[in-house]
Amino acid sequence: MANLILDDICVRFGGLQALTDVAFSVGEGEVVGLIGPNGAGKTTVFNVITGVYKASSGTASYDGNVITGLRPYQVLSMGIARTFQNIRLFQNMTALENCMVAQHSRSKSGVVGAILRSPGQMREEARIQEKSQKALEFMGLGDVTDEVASNLPYGHQRRLEIARALASEPQTILLDEPAAGLNPSESMDLMNSIARITELGINVLMVEHDMKVVMGVCSRIVVLDHGVMIAEGVPENIRKNPAVIEAYLGQ
Amino acid sequence: MTTQESKKLWLSCGVGLIWFLIILWPLLGITPEGLEFGKTFKVFGYVAVGVVILMLFYQVQQAGKLNFVGTPLKATSVGIGKIYEITPRWILLGIVLALAIAFPLVTGRYAHDVSISVLIYICLGLGLNIVVGLAGLLDLGYIAFYGVGAYTYALMSLHFGLSFWLCLPIAGVTAAIAGCIIGYPTLRMRGDYLAIVTLGFGEIVRLILNNWMGLTNGPNGIMGILRPEIFGFQLNKLWMLYYVILGIAVFTILAVYRLNFSRIGRAWEAIREDETAAELMGVNTFLLKLLAYAMGATFAGFAGAFFAARMRFVGPESFSFLESAMVLAMVVLGGMGSIPGVILGVLALVALPEVFREFELYRMLVFGGVMTLMMLIRPAGIWPAKRVGRRSEEAD
């Protein structure tokens, strides 16, 4: 049971209370949306889950193991991969190499193996390449594998971010505004991709401002405002929730 | 070319010449006897006439008047490029290796001497390339590991009479340990701060070598280091030593190449590109940065051990900051992260100054000028790094 559970997470930066008692979970086969106005602390939630920030109190656990306090690479090897709000690809590496980096935690050959090119290392290298290629093809980037990331058009870069996260063979994927800057048809593609990702048995937690995308793919929505959870529920209820409307539109 | 473009070109050329005059006059015109103008204007005149001729030539060529020479030339160069493309890599590498093996048979002592230092610097450059070019950690104290390797062999040889071949891996290991010790506290730093700290550590190592009389014999250095032996036969001719360092260099090239295209090399590159993203994509950046320092230091340690065996003497002055800066310049000039680039960079900075010996006093001036020009014209280096597969800039 791949289950991400946040339990009363608080984050303080000096005097600023960024998150207060945030508690929700992402269960098997779920697509959970995390929404809220700017500065509500959505990306902070991601950073706490992935180990970039430490929670001031509260714990996050995954598959029954506590993950707060782990280093980011350890969180990834537990099966949680993420993308970034402002694209953070390895700019001077090819699309394929970007994905191959993500396989780092799924492989283990060392310096000696690499220098001697032992059969084990060669097999592992072939496997890494194959899996990365698959991840690229899954996101429809099969024909740009050898393109340098910085030369890809914006929409492709967004997809490559997701492909890179998928290449790490996660069970849960955190998408940070995957539709930001995409045109309507690209957004549609993205929604299809997310649906296909869930078919692979991967759970999704995503931050998104595009309500069409959120309402279209999420099975459950969590709303944050000023670091506090103000609502949680199925899309239809969230849309009608007065607290949510107030947070977005003001009184 | 339109008149406007040509005007622009002549204007920038004129500005360049005036700039040249401004730096030239203080060099030539200010003498103990007073100010002098004749010599400056004579030199300036030659340069100006040369530049104008080149400019005219360029304009004529741009106008297409020289196509009867240019077109066949271009065709040949494209042809050579095609031959290069279709020839299997191993044939080209085999040719280069055969030339390197045949080199001492057809040249004299002086050439052996220069080529040995070229090969030593290739090992150093490729080692530093791991740290700077792949992992993106600016290291200004790299030569310290070279020193650690050299002193390791010197002391082992002097006190225990251990053979060179046994000490070579030991020197690699001690240098790697030194790399970890120096690397560890710097791991949290980035960019400029890291450069300053590594600079400090490099100096600390040199000062230890200089002042620890009991162990290193201080500024007097250590003499009487044994030459490498093979089955009891001492390699005491320069050309024999050439083959030893050639072997070490070939091993270094192979090792660095294979590391580059392994999961470890990719992780290093990911750290260089975006450290936070690399960590979030499953790379243990802490460990891998330490590994980059250790691996870079290992190759410097090998080179150092050979250096001690070749000179039969080590002293602290061989490991000054200037050496670190030179190795760094070789890596940057050649092309960071690119193995052929680093090799060309070494050739440019070690072999060319030897070729330019005739310029004597102006040698370093020419050297500085060439470096400045290179960085202006090709900031990515002589032979920039390539990645697996086809890259888009090669396609067009």
In A, minimum Cα distance to B285 occurs at: A73
Tell whether the model's pLDDT for residue B395 goes beyond 70.
no
For residue B203, give the nearest of B114, B277, B142, B129 by alpha carbon: B142
pLDDT value at residue B73: 79
Q: Are B327 and B142 in contact (CB under 8 A)?
A: yes
- A155 and A228, same domain (yes or no): no
Q: Please check the confidence at residue B389 and state whether its pLDDT lies above 60.
A: no
**Residue B11 tokens, joined:** 């204007």
| Residues of chain B numbered 260-289 and touching chain A (CB < 8 Å) | 262-267, 269-270, 273-274, 276-286
Same domain (yes/no): A248, A200: yes
Distance from CA of B80 to the nearest CA of A (A): 25
* Residue B79 to residue B74: CA distance in whole angstroms: 8
CB-closest option in B264, B282, B286 to A111: B264
Least confident of A190-194, B164-168, B193-197, B304-308: B193-197
d(CA B250, CA B266): 22
Q: Which chain A positions have a beta carbon within 8 Å of B264's beta carbon? A: 110-111, 114
Closest partner residue to A76 (CB to CB) among B273, B274, B280 is B280
Dist. CA A93–CA A107, nearest whole Å:
19
Residue that finishes a domain, picked among A135, A169, A203: A169
Taking a contact as any Cβ pair under 8 Å apart, which residues of chain A between 154 and 193 contact chain B? Answer: 164-165, 168
| B334 in Cβ contact with B344 (< 8 Å) | yes
Residue B360: what pLDDT? Answer: 65
When divided into structural domains, chain A yields a total of 2
Does the residue A84 lie in any domain? no
* Beta pairing, strands A4-13 & A57-62: antiparallel
A235 alpha carbon, distance to own chain's centre: 20
Last residue of a domain, one of A103, A136, A169: A169
Rounded average pLDDT over B179-184 = 89
Q: Is A211 exposed, middle or buried (0-12, 13-18, 19+ CB in 10 A)?
A: middle
Does the pLDDT value for residue B352 go beyond 80? no
CB pair distance less than 8 Å for B282 and A125: no
| Interface contact flag, A97 B387, Cβ < 8 Å | yes
Q: Is B259 on the interface with A (CB under 8 A)?
A: yes
Q: Are residues A178 and A75 in the same domain?
A: yes
**Residues A135 and A147 grouped into a single domain:** yes
Q: Are residues A52 and A175 in the same domain?
A: yes
For B55-90, the pLDDT digits (tens) are 888 888 777 777 777 777 788 888 888 887 777 778
CB pairs under 8 A between A and B: 123
- CB pair distance less than 8 Å for A102 and B282: yes
A12 SS3 class: strand
Residues A177 and A161 in one domain: no
Of B54, B121, B45, B72, nearest in space to B333 by CA: B121
User: Per-residue pLDDT for B396 more than 60?
Assistant: no
The answer on A182 and A145 residing in a single domain is: no
Biggest distance spanned by C-alpha atoms of chain B: 76
Of A204, A188, A227, A194, the C-alpha closest to A36 is A227
DSSP state string for A118-187: -HHHHHHHHHHHHHHHHHHHHTT-GGGTTSBGGGS-HHHHHHHHHHHHHHT--SEEEEESTTTT--HHHH
Strand partners, B314: B222
Token duo for residue B169: 């891996």
Q: B247-262 as b/e, with b when 16 or more CB fall inside 10 Å?
A: ebbbebbebbebbbeb
Please tell me the pTM assigned to this model.
0.86
Q: Domain span at residue A108?
A: 89-169
Q: Answer with the residue of higher pLDDT: B374 or A47.
A: A47
- B209-223: average pLDDT: 89
Instruction: Report CB contact under 8 Å: B282, A105.
Output: yes
pLDDT in tens, A101-118: 999 988 888 888 888 888
Note whether A94 contacts B388, CB cutoff 8 Å: yes
* Top mean-pLDDT range of A33-37, B354-358, B382-386: A33-37
Last residue of a domain, one of A146, A169, A192: A169
Contacts of B258 in chain A (CB under 8 A): 114-115, 117
| Partner-chain contact B391 A104, CB within 8 Å | no
Q: Is residue B190 over pLDDT 80? A: no
C-alpha B383/C-alpha A120 separation (Å) is 32
DSSP state of B234: E
The mean predicted confidence, pLDDT, of chain B is: 86
Which residues have CB under 8 Å from B339's CB, separation 6+?
B126, B129, B253, B256, B257, B260
* Alpha-carbon distance A164 to nearest alpha carbon in chain B (angstroms): 8
- Is A135 found in the same domain as A36? no
Same domain, A64 and A176: yes
Query: Which domain CATH number covers A242?
Result: 3.40.50.300
Q: Which residue has the higher pLDDT, B394 or A200?
A: A200
Please judge whether A94 and B262 are an interchain contact, meaning their C-beta atoms are less than 8 angstroms apart.
no
pLDDT at B394 over 60: no
Instruction: Express each pLDDT in B243-287 by its tens digit.
Output: 999 999 999 999 999 999 899 999 999 999 999 999 999 999 999
Is residue A144 assigned to a domain? Answer: yes
- Put simply, the answer to whether A147 touches B392 (Cβ < 8 Å) is yes
* Subunit contact A146:B267, Cβ cutoff 8 A: no
Question: Does A159 lie in the same domain as A99?
Answer: yes
Q: Is a pLDDT exceeding 50 seen at residue B393? A: no
Low-confidence ranges of chain A (pLDDT < 70): 1-2, 250-251
Q: Give the model's confidence band at B390: pLDDT under 50 very low, under 70 low, under 90 confident, else very high.
A: very low
In a domain, A156, yes or no: yes
Interface test with A, best of B281, B286, B387, B388 (most A CBs within 10 A): B281
Task: Report CB contact under 8 Å: A97, B274.
Answer: no
3-state secondary structure of B298: helix
Distance from chain centroid for Cα B146: 14
Report the first-to-last Cα separation within chain B, whole angstroms: 23
Q: Tell me, yes or no, if A241 comes closer than 8 A to chain B by beta carbon.
A: no
Cβ distance B281 to A106 less than 8 Å, yes or no, reads no
Encoded tokens for A178: 């995957």
Does the pLDDT value for residue B367 go beyond 80? no
> In this structure, are residues B335 and B341 in contact, taking their beta carbons and an 8 Å threshold?
yes
Q: Determine the Cα–Cα distance for residues A63 and A52; give it in Å rounded to an integer.
A: 20
Residues 6+ apart with CB under 8 A from A124: A107, A108, A109, B263
Task: With a cut of 50, say whether residue B185 has pLDDT above it.
Answer: yes
The answer to whether the Cβ–Cβ distance between A96 and B266 falls below 8 Å is: no
pLDDT, position B391: 38
Distance of residue A93 Cα from the nearest chain B Cα, in angstroms: 7
Chain A, 19 to 78: residues with Cβ < 8 Å from chain B are 50, 52, 71-73, 76-77
Chain CA centroid to CA A6, Å: 15
